[in-house]
Structure formats: structure tokens, C-alpha cells
Amino acid sequence: MVLLLFVDLDPDLAALRALGGFFVLRTGAAPNGPLPTLATTYESPVSDVCGNSLTFRVRAVAERLQAPELRIAASVAQQALAARLWSAALGCAALYGRIPDLDPRLLHWDAGSAAPDDLWLAEVRPLPVDALADVVLHGHLEPLTAALVAHHRMSAGLLWGNAASALAGAARELDRWARARGRTEVSTRARALTAELLAHPLLAGTGTLTGTAFRRRSCCLYYRVPGGGVCGDCCFTQPPGSSAKAASG
């Protein structure tokens, strides 16, 4: 049996800094003024006008990737935000043995910034680790999925596949970091929590986890970006249609 030793959450969530920028969660007030909360982002109608943070992020991703369809950019943007949420929450769970309350009303999002300056948590309120599903899946990914399905004609199955892929990716990075430093207790905790979360009804059936490797049953559509290919955990081994194109060429 591995003895897991945990410490209380600190106001700066300083332990996350060692894991790298994608895991870091800024706390307190953003230095450049108030940012919209994710609650506002989920609740506001997603219109064709870039007044909504989610609309702004999707269009920015589309422009950067030269995506031929907005739904491709919406998929990439959703997976990136899911990865940020999972990384911060799972990192805290594995390192502290507790997680911060990531209530969307407390979590501010700068849709124009990259990690770690995109998310700011107004107040650190400790919660038990068993609140992970409620905090991330129900608190964030359900309303985010609903918004994208309604306004970008997204497949809910694709988006939940993205969420599972983001979770597995965060766990894999955390496992790699922990093993390199002999922190086996952190690796053990991260693996157990990830397996438990992937069995949740919202994520069950999205893919197969073998050790730290994950193979999803859906595709995030990144292969449709100019110059893009399939991701390491994609259900496809090569971009759809590539064999036919090669044969005809």
C-alpha cells in the first residue's frame, strides 16, 4: 500500500507551477482588469458577433488554423479549454489531495490569452477530491458542450471524446512528471482518478485507457485543418481519404 501524504491548498496553488504552464491556475484578480467569468460565457447566447468570449475564441482559433469550418475550430477550442480545466483540477488532486472550487462564477477566462494567463480563479475554496466530476464535468463541460452543440452544430459525442482525450492527456503529463521525480504517490493517485473519471456516464465509452495510453472512439476533426494530421489518440490511424488521394495521385 502506498501512503499518500497531502498538504492544504495554498492561496496561490503554488505546487502547480512545477508542472508547467498548462497546469498553472492563476489566483486573485487579473492584473489587466476584470475578465468575464466562465459562467457568463456559458450562459450568454453565442451569436455571430464576437461579443461572447466563446465566440471570440472559436473565431480566433479558426483564423490561426485557417480552419475551413467554424466547427473544426470550435472542437479545437473546446478541447484546449477542457485540457486546462482537467490539468489544474487533476494536478491539485494528485499533489494536494484536494481540489479548488472551480465554480464558473469564480473562474475568469481571458479568451485572448494562452496558458497560464487565460484562467484566473478569484478565490481558492478547498473541496474534497470526490467533487472532481461535479466541478469539471457538470460545472463546466456540460454547459460548454450544450453551447457548442446548439450554436455550432457540433456532435456531442465528438465533444465528450475531446473531454476524455483532454483528461487522459493531462494525466499522462502528470504521470510523466511524477515518475521522473520519483513521486510514485502522485502517479498512483493521478492514474486512479483518471480511470474513475473515464468510467463516469458522461465519458464512459469515449475510448479505451491502457496504462496511460488512451485511444478514443471519435475524431476531433483536426485532420481537416490545412497541413493537419491525426492526433496520437485518434480513432483513425491516418486522415480519412488519404489512401484514396495517394492512390489517385
pLDDT of residue 7: 67
Domain span holding position 181: 14-205
Examine residue 233 and state whether it is found in any structural domain, yes or no: no
Q: Is the residue at 240 inside a domain?
A: no
Q: What span, in angstroms and rounded, lies between the C-alpha atoms of 171 and 176?
A: 9
pLDDT in tens, the chain (249 residues): 333 445 689 999 999 999 999 999 999 988 878 899 999 999 875 554 445 889 999 999 999 999 999 999 999 999 999 999 999 999 999 999 999 999 999 999 999 999 999 999 999 999 999 999 999 999 999 999 999 998 888 999 999 999 999 999 999 999 999 999 999 999 999 999 999 999 999 999 999 999 999 999 999 998 989 988 899 888 988 888 765 443 333
Predicted local distance difference test score (pLDDT) of residue 237: 84
Grid coordinates given for 58: 472559436
Judge whether 235 lies within some domain. no
184, part of any domain: yes
Separation in Å, CA 64 to CA 13, 57, 158, 163: 31, 10, 22, 22
Q: What contacts 24+ positions apart, CB below 8 Å, involve 185-192?
A: 185/2, 185/3, 185/4, 185/5, 186/94, 186/95, 187/94, 188/2, 188/4, 189/4, 189/93, 189/94, 189/97, 190/90, 190/93, 190/94
226 located within any domain: no
Q: Does residue 32 belong to any structural domain of this protein?
A: yes
Question: Which residue's C-alpha cell is 508547467?
Answer: 20
Would you say residue 3 lies in a domain? no
pLDDT (0 to 100) of residue 246: 37
Q: What was the pLDDT predicted at 4?
A: 45
Q: Is 218 in contact with 235 (CB distance < 8 Å)?
A: yes
218 is a domain residue: no
Domain count, the chain: 1
User: pTM of the full predicted structure?
Assistant: 0.91
